[in-house]
Amino acid sequence: MKKIIFTLLLSLVLVLAGCANVTNTVKVDKKGEAMISFDIDISSVAGIFASSYSDQMEAKLKEAGFTVDKKSNTSYHIEKKLAKTETTKSDMKPEDFGVKITNTKSFFTQKIKVDANIDIEKIWKKEVADVPFPKEILSQIDYTFILDLPVSSIGDNNAKSVDGGKLTWDVPLDQKSEMYFEVTVPNVKNIAIVGGILLVAIIGLLIYLIRKHRKKKRLQ
């Protein structure tokens, strides 16, 4: 999966002769599955150059499980759904990309903090070592990253905007950048345990009160 993402990035760089807008969205559902997508709009000049490569790129992406919607020579929508098994067993290790994940648990909740120090040049040299880092081209790409989570309890973050569980960042590809956010999720197991205890206690109290009431009536 990791190689496919960088193959896609390399293909884009080769065809982007002008300005471009790329929106990368990762939408995570409550099952732990995710939909990853790229909405790509390139300049008309780049589109003329890209048209001769589009069939090859589309074939490689489809082979890797992506669906490609070619709206025009200058506009593409690319997406792939990742099952829970793929997200947990993926070869994309967070630390390989400068991402640190901290999980702080309490009895009722757990706070997850994600801190990413993104160094595209370092990643590029590691994944595409034999190709010079195209800083001049990447500087012309407006790259937006959207993380759409199934919870809205977003804490401290440096996103450009937050709408419920959706966080949006503008990411400069030609320089280092930092992205971080915190999210608090309930500890469902412990909440269920406490809820069960409370339910038993309430039922016990009701039984006690009913018996006491009946006993009182018999004595009258």
Residue 107 lies in a domain: no
In this structure, the answer to whether residues 77 and 143 fall within a common structural domain is yes
In this structure, the answer to whether residues 7 and 52 fall within a common structural domain is yes
Tokens linked to 152: 């809205």
The answer for residues whose C-beta is within 8 angstroms of residue 35's C-beta and 6 or more apart is 25, 26, 27, 29, 79, 80, 81, 82
- The residue that leads in pLDDT, 218 or 179, is 179
Residue 91 lies in a domain: yes
pLDDT at 215: 65
Condensed to tens digits (0 to 9), the pLDDT of residues 50-99 reads: 555 666 777 777 887 888 888 877 788 889 888 766 655 555 566 666 78
In this structure, the answer to whether residues 173 and 194 fall within a common structural domain is no
Q: Which residues of 144-181 are buried (b: 16+ CB within 10 A; e: fewer)?
A: ebbbbbeeeebeebebeeeeebbbbbebebbeebebbb
In this structure, the answer to whether residues 206 and 138 fall within a common structural domain is no
Q: How many domains does the chain have?
A: 2
The domain in which residue 198 lies consists of 189-220
Residue 102 lies in a domain: no
In this structure, the answer to whether residues 220 and 120 fall within a common structural domain is no
pTM, full prediction:
0.75
Round the average pLDDT of the chain to a whole number and report it: 75
In this structure, the answer to whether residues 149 and 215 fall within a common structural domain is no
Q: Return d(Cα 214, Cα 4) in angstroms, integer.
A: 73
Residue 79 lies in a domain: yes
In this structure, the answer to whether residues 204 and 172 fall within a common structural domain is no
**CB–CB of 180/59 below 8 Å?**
no
Strands (E), 43-153: 67-72, 75-82, 99-105, 109-118, 141-148
